[in-house]
Structure 1
Amino acid sequence: MAAKRSPLSGTSPRESRGPGHKALLGVQLVGASALAGAIVAGIALPAVGGVGLSAKAAANDFNNLPGDLVVPTLSQASTIYDANGGVIATVYSRDRTSVLLSQIAPVMQNALVDIEDHRFYQHGAIDLQGTLRALLKDSSSGGVSQGGSTLTQQYVKNVFIEEAGDSAAGVAEATRQTAGRKIQELKYAIELEQKLSKQQILDNYLNITYFGGGAYGVEAAAELYFSKHASQLTLPEAALLAGLVQSPSAYDPVQNPASALTRRNEVLDAMASYGSISTAQAVQAKAQPLGLKVTTPKTGCIAAKAGDEFFCNYVEHVLLDDPAFGATSEARQALFDQGGLKIHTTLNPQDQAAEEQAMQNHIYSSDKAVAVSSMVQPGSGQILAMAQSRPFGTGTNQTEINYNVDAMHGGGEGFQTGSVFKAVTAATALSQGIPLSYPINSPASADYPAMTDCDGVVHPAVPGDQNDTTVPYGNIDMVKAMADSVNTYFVPLEAQAGLCNVVHMAQSLGLGNQGMMNAAGTGLEPLAQAQSLTLGVNDLTPLQIANAYASFAANGTYCSPTAITQVVDASGKSLTVPSGNCHQVLTPAVAQQVNTLLHSVVSDQGTGASVAIPYSDAGKTGTTNSEAQAWFAGYTTQVSDATVVTNPNYPLNSLNGVDIGGHSYDPAYGYETAGPIWHDAMIAAMSGQPNTALGFAPGPKN
């Protein structure tokens, strides 16, 4: 008679044997391969020949099969944290939290063993009784059944399934029931039984196996079905979970409660028959309902903290796209799928809340127009906030497109920037020694002068350059031209600085058409080199603009935008993260001159005067043709922010007369639409920070 366990006890006489038993077990293990070979050789299996194992040679060939199974590190959930250590989201390829066997209720361990392999602690890798019975049945029927598999063999199969990941073909191959596969599983099982203790095998099994509902491992299953930890499972709960292993879909307690109840009671009967519990305990447990308390895991960026979803999505794309996390896309995907990562990010909760509240103050999620904003820290490139007025999701008035970023990172193509781009032209001219006082006659309208692009193509003079006013400006300097955003000043300034030079300056500031990987692998495609380049005809993203403007605030230091500060893998090892690669692209003197120009915009006489903040600031409005997009970008020494209001579904449609937060504007200039959002966000973000003066250059003498 089999040794009995104390009901609901954590240990079992079948688990705790003396030295004599260990010696006997060693003999059994040493002879296991020979025994397995004899079984294979002695049973006429029709499919054996298909794997190169004739009945005559089976015993010898069995010993030549590979037996060194690599036990995988189980895929687990990863956690994304904000800059203060708060949880943004939990993401995973598989819902699993690995736990130690000591963290799994003993009754759960007993239930699983009793229903799946009640002789687990008594046999080696092979349960001779079960295997012979199954093989004889298969031989007579001509098929291959599940019967006779030990827990160790089942664990081996689960390893194959785990390695297959989300590949349907891989999973099908891992679960294909052929004689050859069962024999290979047997060989691996023998090796595992020699390397691992029974407790280790059971521990691995309970953490790897699928329990349905997307839950892998008993801890995730306990949390899913009963909203508790595996250590807290009661007898009827443990019996239910143990019963799911055979067929998670057929016995799904949510979808098929009657079948699940029947299966649970079968497990309870098995436990009573093998002495794990008493008959009275089984009867009492069977009288209880399923007792489900389902908690659907709130995972993935869709379940991130409200407002953080777009940034979360961006972080995922960085992990999957940046070579810092693997030389190939396959390597990066494997890292993400493996999970167990602790991902610490740059997202500042105060700044994020500031962006979201500012949008709520000025635009509704149901508006046709959408507001999009990014905040970056000058001098580091760290992304402080990323928000949209249209929430993340697939429902009405929602979107999963992150308009702050390019298509490579889950966004779109960007938006034309209008006069926000004039700062780049000014930086180019100033870098070449053209002074702030440089005079240009600026009529109400003029021709685009001839220019030569970076490919040597000469673009002849054409008409079309004009201002919003019909009044000519006459001879004005760069400061006046920037304050009033005079097109007929900046187009000839672009010609004077050189079209190609402006392109190169833009690229040094991280500006370029995004969305498709170029030959250099940077994702930065060349800008369209039109004579109207300075007027913002290229599509750029708020993150790009905020980051470029941050270079002016940081005395000419450009840093690549970064979202991740640290990644710790499941083993506790810190991984290399993308660097901001900060470097000087403008001399401090030129950066200070740009600051002077952009500060004129928010001065009393500038186009952005109405949205100036009570800090040392600088900024620029931008409005595209027909007011299709309206921008405001600006900064202090601590924060750079770019905000655009547009209709992303109909990018060529005018914002004129469109309802924006209960108001309509005609014309819908940047300082009226995007500007107030920028203003409110910057005021809140700067709260508690010192009013550190930007570096300014002396303006031109009048």
Structure 2
Amino acid sequence: MANKRSGGGLTGTQQAAKFLGVSVLSGAVLAGIALPAAGALGLAAKGTVEGFDEIPANLKTPPLSQRTTILDAEGGQIATVYSRDRTVVTLKDISPYMQKAIVAIEDARFYEHGAVDLKGVLRALNRNAQEGGVTQGASTLTQQYVKNVFVEEAGDDPDKVAQATQQTLGRKVRELKFAIQVEEELGKKKILENYLNITFFGQQAYGVEAAAKRYFSKSAKDLNLEESALLAGIVQSPSDFEPVNDAHQATLRRNVVLQRMADVKYVSQAEADAAKAKPITLKVSKPKNGCITAVDGAGFFCDYVRKTILNDPAFGKTEEERQKLWNLGGLTIRTTLDPRAQEAANEAATSHVNKDDKVAASVVQVEPGTGKILSMGQSRPYGLDQKKHETVLNLAVEKKMGGTTYGFQVGSTFKPITAAAALEKGITPAQSFSTGSKIQLPMSSFTNCSGSPAGSGIWDPQNETEDETGSWDMTSALGKSINTYFAKLEQMTGLCETVEMAKAMGYERGDGAKLGENPSITLGGEESTPLSMAATYATFANRGTYCTPIAVTSITAADGKSLQVPKSSCSQAMSERTADTINQMLKGVVEDGTGTRAGLSDRDNAGKTGTTNDRKDAWFVGYTPNLSTAVWVGDDVGEKASMYNITIGGQYYDKVCGGCLPGPIWKIAMTGALEASETPSFNHVDVPRGASDKEKDEEDEDKGKPGDSRGGDNGGGDGGQPFPGISFPPGFIGGADGGKTNGGGTNAGAGGRN
């Protein structure tokens, strides 16, 4: 069915010439109305006809900003996000009363004239001349639609909005030019539909569907006569006529609309009078917008999804393009969030750490083999209210994704990476070292990836306690987290080989910087994030194959088309045999090592504790064949306080360790997430053992004195300024870096025993 064409089928140029009269009204008609008659005289028609047949496609079908809906993996709604609250609907889904009301009050001759209402122009010119100024306009509904398109394109840029709405001849010429073509291309019904979808109705509601939901909690198709008249009356001046803040003025304006509908015979006078007699009855629905409204404590994950769209070049080559896509909205984003895992992560994060504690907890879970991020939980709730101890700082992720400046030092959770590098080089798990509680190693014995010595002087790592002397093989050294063993193992394996293994497993710094090639990396000297650690350990669970973490599985645009989303990229980081061997050794950590309080009794599981210098960060990272979880506990405010003699979650700790606080949190998160799931087993291998005289069980892995957990004289966790270049208001519950790692000199050390 062809669209109705204005002007008897004339082209845009012919219509322009006809309406302009080429010489008579010239600038006055072009100005659309809002000029005094005297001001119209002498205006030339130069430049008003050229290019009239060139109409931008977005005026015919403008992309309107709408709500974006973020869904979990099962299709449940996490949150809705929008820059403008709008849901586009077709004309058949808009009440006939609403259609008649807007035409009656805004442009009663809409179906009779073309893009320009010449009678209206003459009437306005006459009134303006009588008043001696600009008192009346005659923009048609089509012209208003065109102006709204330009306003929509301007977005939230105040300069662009002012340019789109300024009362100038140039703007009116541009508006009229496109109005003529829109009439020809679209026809009346489509123009009316577009107009009702683009118009602002006050109270953050754009388009009639959002307005109907906002004021009456119903769809636009269900609006009755008086409700339609009320909404139509708002359009002229939303700040004056919206009923939430001024019901009296809204009522007066509504009745004007009703009378106008009766005057033009859209309703009878009796119907209009009956509607006028009714008081305004609102059923207001406050729109929920943004990740702050996310269900099930998924605010941090929701924000991570937002950051994914804004940072990934797959969604636009430039930052501006990606921001435009997000602001335009209308997307349906299906994510990897697992409702059960998210509930478990929230429960775990808050089970042992209160939101008003001096420290915070972060829990993140990744599925081995797919890279899917299943949950993100924190002990502090997502939000902006500092008095409620809320934060928008995502402790689980890197800086560019809304995380801390550097991330956090990972302590002894790095040691399995060194072990994997050693196995890949052919070093047997039976390799034993006999050491005292403190050793000295020449920095020149460590070679970086450029082939140069890692530094000069001596590196002197030490164990947790002075009595930790003797012989250990790889299994016992992992179980008891012996610093001196892993310093010597790294020396034998190679610093470069250790760093390259970390890279292959997805280990990344929180600030995105290149991993430092310092010997202290084996004791956790290079900061990382809980998400990176969960993905790294998932490599072990996946028998040596690392998969990049992902949060989005599909995106559907408002027009129903699917957008291409990045998939997880998987690569072999080590042999299956190496991964299987690490799994067997790390099972010992939870069975009779430093992580016994984290162990799961109903399925194969493995993991590693980690505690950094002066107990500023405590970790437990572990996994089953089908789930990898990282737990971090530490100071997120920026002071990097030591966790000695501290009360957390109502419980007193003389010293926090990886196994005694993050471990139990990990157990809760894993138990809840894996409830009713399959119980696959690790691939069993026989792990050769070597000489070890430290195979005794120890209930308390933290019997050392405060301060003994450092890796060297100047451990890697003590340097650096938290949040360089960033200031926070007093009491802000923000985040902290893990301390800037020392750069590889004589005393470059880090890590704690646990």
TM-score for both structures, normalised by structure 1 = 0.91
Among 33, 37, 47, the residue aligned to 2:16 = 33
Distance 1:140 1:86 in 2: 61
> What residue is the counterpart of 1:556 in the other structure?
544
- TM-superposition CA deviations, 1:281-329 (whole Å, max 9, x none): 2232223222122111112111111311111110111011111112222
Deviations 1:540-563 (CA, angstroms, capped at 9, x unpaired):
110000000000110110111011
- Report the Cα distance in structure 2 between the residues aligned to 1:54 and 1:64, rounded to whole angstroms: 24
- How much has 1:383 moved relative to structure 2? 0.5
1:233-255, Cα deviation, whole Å (9 max, x unpaired): 12221111111111111223222
Do the aligned partners of 2:128 and 2:136 also contact (CA within 8 Å) in 1? Answer: no
Q: Would the aligned equivalents of 1:308 and 1:387 in 2 still touch at CA under 8 Å?
A: yes
Does residue 453 of the first structure (1) align with residue 452 of the second (2)?
Answer: no
Aligned equivalent of 2:168, options 178, 183, 203: 178
Matched letter for residue 308 of structure 1: A
- The match for 2:34 is none
Which of 609, 612, 624 matches 2:599? Answer: 612
Distance 1:30 1:681, change over 3 A: same
Distance 1:508 1:140, change over 3 A: farther
Q: SS state of the match for residue 97, structure 1?
A: coil
- 1:398 maps to what in 2? 390
Matches within 5 A, 1:514-593: 514-515=510-511, 524-593=512-581
Are residues 1:648 and 2:643 paired?
A: no
Letter in 1 for 2:572: Q
Contact 1:362 1:661 in 2 (8 A): yes
CA contact (8 A) 2:616 2:641 kept: yes
* Structure 1 equivalent of residue 178 of structure 2: 188
Please identify, of 371-380 and 279-288, the stretch whose mean Cα deviation from structure 2 is larger: 279-288
Partner SS, residue 653 of structure 2:
coil
Count of aligned pairs: 670
Match of residue 284 from structure 1: 274
- More displaced 10-residue stretch of structure 1: 532-541 or 399-408: 532-541
Q: For the residues of structure 2 that align with 1:86 and 1:107, how far apart are their CA atoms?
A: 35
Q: 2:624 aligns with which of 636, 639, 651?
A: 636
8 Å Cα contact 2:200/2:206 also seen in 1: yes
Counterpart of 1:312 in structure 2 is 302
Moved more, 80-89 or 290-299: 290-299
User: Which consecutive unaligned segments of at least 5 residues does structure 1 have?
Assistant: 1-18, 516-523
Q: Secondary structure at the match of 2:533?
A: helix
1:45-56 correspondence runs (5 A) = none
1:424 to 375, 395, 417: 417
The aligned residue for residue 707 of structure 2 is none
SS at match of 1:359: helix
Partner amino acid, structure 2, of 1:470: E
> Is the 8 Å Cα contact of residues 657 and 664 (structure 1) preserved in structure 2?
yes
Q: How far apart in 2 are the matches of 1:613 and 1:221?
A: 53
Q: Aligned residue for 2:316?
A: 326
Distance in structure 2 (CA, Å) of the matches to 1:54 and 1:69 = 31
What amino acid sits opposite 2:424 in the alignment? S
1:457 Cα deviation from its structure 2 partner: 4.8
How far apart, in 2, do the equivalents of 1:232 and 1:44 lie?
A: 43
Matches within 5 A, 1:125-140: 125-135=115-125
Alignment correspondent of 1:155: 145
Q: Does 1:694 align with 2:688?
A: no
Q: Aligned partners of 1:609 and 1:200: how far apart in 2?
A: 68
The question of whether the paired residues in 1 share the 8 Å contact of 2:69 and 2:332 is answered with yes
| Structure 2 spans left out of the alignment, 5+ residues | 32-39, 691-754
Change (3 A) 1:441 1:189: same
CA contact (8 A) 1:33 1:63 kept: no
Distance across 1 between alignment mates of 2:128 and 2:19: 16
The more displaced of 251-260 and 452-461 is 452-461
Change (3 A) 1:295 1:319: same
* Corresponding residue number in structure 1 for 2:650: 662
CA deviation digits over 1:58-87, x for unaligned, max 9? 177425445414231222111111111111
Give me the whole-angstrom Cα distance separating, in 2, the residues matched to 1:111 and 1:638: 59
Matched to 1:269, the amino acid is Q
What is aligned with 1:484?
480
Deviation at 1:570? 1.5
Query: Do the aligned partners of residues 96 and 468 (structure 1) sit closer, same or farther apart at CA in structure 2, a change above 3 Å counting?
Result: same
3-state SS in 2 of match to 1:648: coil
Cα displacement (A) at 1:146: 6.3
**Alpha-carbon separation, structure 1, partners of 2:222 and 2:342:** 38
Partners of 1:65 and 1:176 in 2: CA distance? 21
Moved more, 526-535 or 102-111: 526-535
Please tell me the root mean square deviation across aligned C-alpha atoms, in Å: 2.4
Question: Shift of residue 30 of structure 1?
Answer: 8.4
Give the corresponding residue for 1:437. 430
Percentage of matched positions with identical amino acids: 46
Q: TM-score, structure 2 length as denominator?
A: 0.85
Q: Do 2:546 and 2:570's aligned partners in 1 also have CA atoms closer than 8 Å? A: yes
Which 4+ stretches in 1 moved above 4 angstroms?
A: 21-25, 27-31, 43-48, 53-57, 135-146
Quote how far apart the aligned CAs of 1:700 are.
Answer: 2.0
Q: Name the SS for the 1:415 alignment partner.
A: coil
Q: Distance in 2 between matches of 1:248 and 1:44?
A: 30
Matches within 5 A, 1:335-346: 335-346=325-336
